[in-house]
Structure 1
Amino acid sequence: MSFASIPKSEDILRAIHHVVGQSDRGHTIGLHEPDFSGTQAWAYVKDCLDTGWVSTAGIWVSRFEKELCTVTGAKHAIAVSNGTVALRLALHVIGVKPGDEVVLPPLSFVATANAIAHLGAVPHFVDVENSSLGLSPTALNAQLEKVTERKDGVLLNRETGRRIVAILPVHVFGFPAQIIELRKVADAWQLPLVEDAAEALGSWREDIHCGLFGAVGTLSFNGNKLITTGGGGALLTNNDEIAKNARHLSTTAKQQHPWSFHHDAVGWNDRMPNLNAALGVAQIEDLNRRLKIKQKLAKEYIQAFSKLDGIEVLPEPPGCKSNYWMVTLRFTTPDPGAANAQRLRLLEKAHETGLLLRPIWSSLNELPMYTSCPAGPLLVAEDQAPRLINIPSSPQLHNEWGRT
């Protein structure tokens, strides 16, 4: 095993500290932390408390949805309690049923696969490409050609006998996937696209926001996202019928009436509370500033690492604008084992000094509940996963946030 082409951990840490300042055990630097300074968060949450509208009804929920439509260009936004719920609901409304298969990449947070499993469906893993780390259009088409046949208008996996009913690409770390090419493949195979854009608020490919290339997309507003509502998520769609069904089912499928409780389907109590939405509105008003500072932070990292051989900062793909949710380093040595060993040493040294770096998630196909799921060759994912590490990316780490 050769380490000749891998930089020393000390040099990597020095480059990170050059951008974000020093850390120690008494002053840790997190990956991506919430910050409400300079916003109206306190006033908006206080309005909820003063008026008593703290649950799933209230002006802030509808206002948050309108703000999401404004900043993304979506026709409809449906705010729900978290990103996993948003994915599960999105898959349900486009017709995913128990026993169906949904195609997705293995490099994602576990919620992507869990949302499929929550419906009784089965994840089907297809490889990624290394520029965006997103689902590979070439691998997707090859896998569909290899394992499927169409009978009576239904696309079946010949090896399992199950229907393949949807494609679920992920915009990893806020980098837009090759979604235009993925949409072409999806259209050719007559499969709907459901986009996991949980990390991609403010990310665009060409002039379309992530989450709006397919039938429906989803966002997350977890505490580590660019905009947080504590917990929370949303569906984005330009399809009137999908929006109507999602909103109805997320509100226990209750038919509107001044006093009668009549429910016409099995629904969920998924809606985002007013308190959470108030937090979201306060931050989305500050979104453009946050995105600009995130871009500057990423550029400073790129500059800081430009003279180190064997490692790179992942750039936004051509033709895209990324929110750089998680600035990500990639070891470029040919040997992924050597890269992984160096990554482990870097993690140990960083955490000793209060710098909270993080490796990419475990590949979904390697988790115990998903090892028996269908999968194509995953050579790129297997090569890339050991090379990747996230570094501190909070916009407030940049000196233009208003701090020194």
Structure 2
Amino acid sequence: MANVIIDLRSHRAWNPAHLTAPLIEWPTDLPLVEFGSVTAPLSADSTVVRGTPVITPGGLHPVRGGIRRRTRKYQGPVFQVHESGNALRPGDLLIPPNPDQPVILVSEAHLGALVSSSFLAVRPVSVDPLWLWAILNCQTGRTVRGLHSIAIQGQGPDHSQAEQFPIPVHDDTWGSPLRSELETIERSTRGDEEEAVETWWRTVDLQLETEWRIVLATPNPAVLQDGEPLEAICSEIVRGRPAGHLSSMDLPGGIPVADIRVLGGGTARRWVSPEGNPIVANEGDVLVAAVGTRAHARAAAGVCAVDKNVYALRLIDADQGPGLARYLNGQAGYARRQILLSGVTVPALKKTDLSRFPVPGSALTDSRPEVDTRPLAIQLERLLWS
């Protein structure tokens, strides 16, 4: 949060985006260029009726970036992705109205896709699309987008045209190593999409069912039998607890607290003294979020205290930790976790449900390097300006 006192008598227009613009300082010496001078807006070229899969802002993944799911409920004007021409094509950008949602870089993987006209679709004219995608998705870029979107609510989709962003004058001002890393991050946002299941039905004799919540949560309860339960591969599953002697600064001999923010890729913000008797996780343990709908999981890189909203899984074979964390963060693990959640106001995962969480054997032997679980905005902010 930032506060500023402005004498409005010296301004002809009281546009909040313009009044608060001096508060935003880009952490770079690159020249600032108006967004509208390096992009050209695109117009929707088709319409659809309900039943057609369409990419909408609500179907984006707010943390990882990319497209989570498509909807079949949308009807109205759309963009269709073509290989070339004046219509939406690879290399163009889709900017959602909400700055907390990620900007999408259209690629060959989207050919033929239909996109809601709720997006501001633009074509980079004299700037590398990958650079512009990164600038708009980093934390500072989202802040700038947020200021302007507040100022123009209800005034149409062309609100970003006057905003200023740092743009390299020549392509050689940013080297190939940086571009390569940006390409890797952008590719990581293209995860498997969830199937857009709007409605389903099945015939069930509820007198024979012991868990109605499972029957009502999925058309295929059998997926909960596909794999080995977590309790079979863990020596212990324990939930963290509140601990005394917490500090917002690193204490001498203190232990960093692993909370849900840390599981999502952030850094520790609290430390606890060993005298506070915390639940402690060691390297090789897997940490899993106990509350919320996001499937955050992470293999502990070292000794840490376990927050009350986090489970610690002590594996019998610690080498299986990275593969298990990757599976729990992936699409299949996310879908199964949603089935087992309980609670309405604050969805939570009970210890008994986590214990029976099924994990395929192939996931435990996955030897790929662990993916970066930090939010997209944080990854880009640190890469661009470090």
Asked which structure has the greater RCO (Cα within 8 Å, sep 6+), the reply is 1
**TM-score above 0.5, yes or no:** no
Q: Which has the larger radius of gyration?
A: 2
TM-score w.r.t. length of structure 2: 0.28
